[in-house]
């Protein structure tokens, strides 16, 4: 088995294919079987469908390899370039660049031919649920606490007023009314703050910014003629 096939298999293991979306995993495994049997057109079609379902670097790498080994360096070049854009670190970029240079050299040596180039589709990221926004959660939580405090103060103000009405002396009556009025005042402030904070939190949930795409890091290592791959980041 070629060491490039080994690289694809190592990529599949590093990415934990069981974490792929079901449709992508089935197509990716189908592509690996065709790749090992050197049925590159079948492998290309399977890897393309897998990448459209789950745009992972390991699928992109396998797709590019299948394109190049099928003799279609025209189609493999944009795939390698996209993978190079996602690369970070000298070792990783050098490994991808070597494959890209090899493909471009083959293109320069081959006679010109009209070959359709299929660029990989842009990766799509799902917007996380509204309740995972930390700022929105904090605002709504603080608003609920403040509103609850305001309601509690209103209840205590009513009790203080009732106690004042049942007082036996004028001093007790006056102090009770003052306590009731103060509790109503602070209760109103807390309730207003609670409504404001809750409203701000809900607006934050609705108008929260789109998530930034985290590009997985692909690192290539070579040892004793074999290629090893490590994937880190948000897959």
**Per-residue DSSP letter, 209:** P
pLDDT in tens, 90-114: 776 777 788 888 888 887 776 544 4
- Within 131-225, strands assigned E span 217-223
Q: Hey, what are 38's tokens?
A: 């050197």
- 149 near 190, Cβ under 8 Å? yes
Q: Please state the length of the chain.
A: 235
The CB-side HSE value for 17 (13 A sphere, CA atoms) comes to: 20
pTM (predicted TM-score) = 0.43
When comparing pLDDT for 176 and 119, which is higher?
176
30, 74, 73: which is closest to 51 by C-alpha? 30
Q: Which fold has domain 3-124+213-232?
A: 1.25.40
CA dihedral 22, 26, 32, 34 (to 10 degrees): -160
pLDDT of residue 46: 94
- Within 7-163, strands assigned E span none
pLDDT of residue 111: 58
Average pLDDT for residues 13-20, to the nearest whole number? 56
Q: Hey, what are 199's tokens?
A: 């409203």
């Amino acid at each position: 088995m070629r060491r490039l096939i080994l690289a694809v298999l190592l990529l599949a293991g590093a990415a934990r294919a069981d974490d792929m979306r079901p449709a992508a995993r089935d197509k990716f495994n189908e592509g690996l079987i065709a790749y090992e049997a050197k049925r590159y057109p079948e492998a290309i079609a399977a890897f393309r469908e897998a990448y459209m379902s789950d745009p992972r670097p390991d699928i992109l790498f396998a797709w590019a390899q299948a394109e190049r080994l099928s003799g279609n360096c025209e189609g493999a070049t944009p795939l390698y370039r996209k993978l190079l854009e996602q690369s970070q670190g000298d070792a990783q970029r050098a490994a991808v660049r070597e494959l890209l240079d090899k493909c471009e050299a083959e293109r320069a040596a081959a006679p010109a031919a009209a070959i359709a180039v299929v660029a990989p589709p842009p990766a799509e990221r799902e917007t996380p649920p509204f309740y995972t926004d930390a700022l929105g959660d904090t605002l709504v939580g603080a608003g609920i606490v403040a509103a609850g405090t305001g309601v509690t103060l209103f209840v205590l103000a009513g009790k203080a007023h009732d106690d004042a009405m049942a007082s036996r002396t004028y001093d007790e009556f006056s102090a009770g009314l003052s306590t009731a009025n103060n509790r109503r005042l602070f209760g109103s402030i807390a309730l207003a703050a609670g409504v404001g904070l809750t409203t701000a939190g809900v607006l934050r949930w609705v108008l929260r910014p789109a998530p930034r795409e985290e590009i997985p890091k692909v690192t290539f290592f070579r040892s004793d003629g074999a290629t090893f791959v490590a994937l880190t980041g948000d897959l």
